[in-house]
Amino acid sequence: MTLAASPAQSPGSSPATKPDPAALEDVLSRVQLALDAAFVAIELEGISRSLLREAPGAHVLADLWRHGSRGLKEQVRATADGVVGTNRLRGERGGPVCGKLIAVALRDTGGAMVGILVAARTVEQPKLGSGESQAMIEFAHETARLSASPAPLGLLGWIAFRDLALQHESVAGGLSGCILYGDVDQLHVLNKLAGLAAGDQAIAAVGEALVNHPLPEGSGVCHISGDRFAVYLPKASLSQARRAAERLCQAVSDRCAVITGLRTRLSISFGVASVPPADPELTQALAAAEAACRAAKDRGRSRVEVYQDADLSIIRRNDDVLVAERLREALETQQFAIVAQPLIALSGESSAEYFELLVRLINDTGTFVSPAHFIPAAARYQMLVELDRAMITRVFKRLRSAHKEMPGRTIRFSVNLSGPSISNPDFLEWLSSNIGPSSVPGEWLQFEITETAAVADVSRTRTLIRHLRARGTEFALDDFGTGVSSLSYLRSFDVAMLKLDGSFTRDLLTDPRAESLVRGVAQLGRSMGIQTVAECVETEVVRQRLTELGIDRAQGFLFGMPVPLESILIPDPEPAIMAPQSAASP
């Protein structure tokens, strides 16, 4: 039979005990990740939890919360919507700004305030806007559900769920079996279409379907938090666990299809992982099952994926958590370097030098880590804006002094901007304030934006280009030719350079279609007065063919490996050359 703490209750049941602290900590970690907050805190039903990131200024935010939490709760209580937000957080009236803050009330089903959820950023971090406020409201609604009993849906709370596994260990002489990690698919869509009450109804229905479905003797079902569930199957093999998860998927689909008032069909995805013998807290098994669940959702939803060491896509999702943490530490401790790679003129004399600037993390051995190892994690965990700002800050600081040392030098440094930075409402103002005669001259700068990022928000991209070109900068459209609307959108952007995606260069000598596209882009560039650049050039024969086709510049290992920025600014008789990190140009 399936173990449960009590019969299933409706979402409006009266609270029985305090919320599970582990569930509160889980919510905190997700709030901190989603909002990129330096400090987050929860108070609910007398339980307090907080998380602090090691970053300059973060401890000040924690001290303010420790000494002013009561006053902040009263401010939240006094508001009509239960939300207090400020981008000018001060320790005292008239004092210096020390951070940004959003605080949201946690309310029970009757509307009474039962707690508070807080997220804060440091002065150096981006401002908090309406998007962050909405995310906090959704997290607050999810968190308030935890003030019900640890089994509001007839399920085990996390502690009881873990204890079930420990009891099995004492009987079996070691943990065995499998963990299923389930995540309701696209619950946020239902919340937006039908309201949060409908979301509560859906979660109750999913929990009811899981707890009422027959499972092997000794199994347990846990409501972790929000739309996430876990199932423990003792003595089950991976194949048996997969079949059980598939049956649960069908049970949830059948149950949710008949819920009155729901306007969208709900489903659940599961990740399956075996429980290793030395994992009494289930942390390893749960992390592996969660990684497999994310893969299931990426691969179509309403499906089951099994975590196995040979599944590189799932392992990458699990590893991304560690990589993201390493990246955060590197940004906080400045353990990264800026390297430069030249863009060489293929024919004629060029009065201007061009270099693309690239970021490399520095690992514990002092060697460089390629972006291929950390950019995917930065994108997944919403760190690209932070990474862009850190790199640009470092580059601009050095270029300010270099411009004084090398007046009159005709040179441009090309810096990549990510899609999230382009979309960030505060990024343009921050970037513009650092470009000008008293800072970095615009004539020394070029910004690269990918075709995909540019067309994602055409209006904002146009605004960015227009404002920064007025300061003397140029723009390059990177990875050109990979999108579906390259030509139709090209007229919308005032760019000075088109950088062909490296895949066309690699296939140039073997694929007639690649050659035709390269020739067409070269002709297009000439007719529009736009320079063209081929990336990933590694052989002399490819260089010769690109020259014949009319491409203006080329970039790749044939012309040189990326070198430290210092060797470009201050020529060294014997510059240090960085060994290539892969077989392809960055």
Cα distance between residue 500 and residue 43, in whole Å: 53
Question: Is residue 78 assigned to a domain?
Answer: yes
CA distances 62 to 13, 56, 92, 98, Å, are 34, 12, 15, 11
**Which of helix, strand or coil describes residue 53?**
coil
DSSP state of 372: G
Amino acid, single-letter form, for residue 207: G
155 and 280 within one domain: yes
Tens of pLDDT, residues 218-235 = 888 988 877 889 999 988
Contact 83, 103 (CB under 8 A): yes
What pTM, to 2 d.p., does this model score? 0.50
Question: Is residue 574 assigned to a domain?
Answer: no
Cα distance between residue 350 and residue 347, in whole Å: 8
Question: Is residue 120 assigned to a domain?
Answer: yes
255 and 270 within one domain: yes
For residue 122, the tally of other CB atoms under 10 A from its CB is 20
Contact 451, 478 (CB under 8 A): yes
Name the residue among 489, 552, 554, 484 with its Cα closest to residue 522: 552
CA distances 534 to 207, 411, 543, 562, 585, Å, are 55, 19, 9, 16, 11
Indicate the number of domains in the chain: 3
139 and 206 within one domain: no
Cα distance between residue 427 and residue 125, in whole Å: 11
The pLDDT, as a whole number, for residue 29 is 80
532 and 462 within one domain: yes
Tokens found for residue 35:
């909002």
Question: Is residue 15 assigned to a domain?
Answer: no
CA distances 209 to 169, 198, 247, 252, Å, are 27, 16, 11, 6
Q: What CATH code is carried by the domain that includes residue 156?
A: 3.30.70.270
196 and 104 within one domain: no
Q: What angle do CA 86, 90, 96 make, to 5 degrees?
A: 125
Contact 236, 245 (CB under 8 A): no
**Residue-by-residue DSSP string for 145-205:** GGGS-S-TTS-B-HHHHHHHHHHHHHHHTS--SEEEEEEETTHHHHHHHH-HHHHHHHHHH
Exposed, middle or buried, 124 (CB in 10 Å: 0-12/13-18/19+)?
Answer: middle
Q: Which residue has the tokens 């279609």?
A: 513
The pLDDT, as a whole number, for residue 7 is 31
121 and 44 within one domain: yes
Name the residue among 474, 471, 355, 358 with its Cα closest to residue 411: 355
Q: Which residue has the tokens 């906090």?
A: 136
35 and 102 within one domain: yes
450 and 524 within one domain: yes
Range of the domain at 175: 2-8+150-308
Which H/E stretch holds residue 392?
Answer: helix 384-405
Q: Show the 3-state SS of 509-573.
A: CCCHHHHHHHHHHHHHHHHHCCEEEECCCCCHHHHHHHHHHCCCEECCCCCCCCEEHHHHHCCCC
The pLDDT, as a whole number, for residue 498 is 92
Q: What CATH code is carried by the domain that includes residue 478?
A: 3.20.20.450
Residue 160 main-chain phi, psi, to 5 deg: -65, -35
Contact 21, 160 (CB under 8 A): no
488 and 435 within one domain: yes
**Which of helix, strand or coil describes residue 360?**
strand
Q: Are strands 497-500 and 531-534 parallel, antiparallel or unpaired?
A: parallel
Tokens found for residue 243:
């079949």
Final residue before a domain boundary, out of 147, 169, 198: 147
Final residue before a domain boundary, out of 120, 147, 174: 147
Question: Is residue 396 assigned to a domain?
Answer: yes
274 and 393 within one domain: no
Tokens found for residue 137:
């409201």
The pLDDT, as a whole number, for residue 168 is 72
Question: Is residue 346 assigned to a domain?
Answer: yes
Tens of pLDDT, residues 197-217 = 777 778 888 888 898 888 888
Final residue before a domain boundary, out of 107, 125, 147: 147
136 and 157 within one domain: no
The pLDDT, as a whole number, for residue 309 is 58
Alpha carbon 279 to chain centroid, angstroms: 28
395 and 274 within one domain: no
Buried b (16+ CB within 10 A) or exposed e, 207-231: bbbbbebebeebbbbbbbbbbbbbb
Alpha carbon 539 to chain centroid, angstroms: 36
Question: Is residue 580 assigned to a domain?
Answer: no
Cα distance between residue 242 and residue 178, in whole Å: 9
The pLDDT tens digits along the chain (586 residues) read 344 333 333 333 333 446 666 677 778 888 888 888 889 998 887 778 888 887 777 888 888 888 788 888 888 888 878 899 888 888 777 778 889 999 999 887 667 788 899 999 988 888 888 778 888 888 888 777 665 444 445 678 777 788 887 777 655 555 568 899 998 887 776 766 666 677 777 888 888 889 888 888 888 898 887 788 999 998 888 889 999 999 999 888 887 765 545 555 678 999 998 887 777 677 778 888 888 888 788 777 788 888 875 454 555 555 566 677 788 888 888 889 999 999 999 987 666 789 999 999 887 777 787 787 788 778 767 788 889 999 999 999 889 888 777 767 788 999 999 888 888 878 888 998 888 877 888 999 999 998 777 877 788 888 999 999 999 999 999 888 765 445 666 777 889 999 998 888 888 998 888 899 899 999 999 999 999 999 989 899 999 999 999 999 999 988 878 888 888 886 433 333 333 333 333 3
Name the residue among 321, 368, 473 with its Cα closest to residue 412: 473
Question: Is residue 285 assigned to a domain?
Answer: yes
Tell which phi-psi region holds residue 479, choosing left (phi > 0), alpha (psi between -120 and 50) or beta.
left
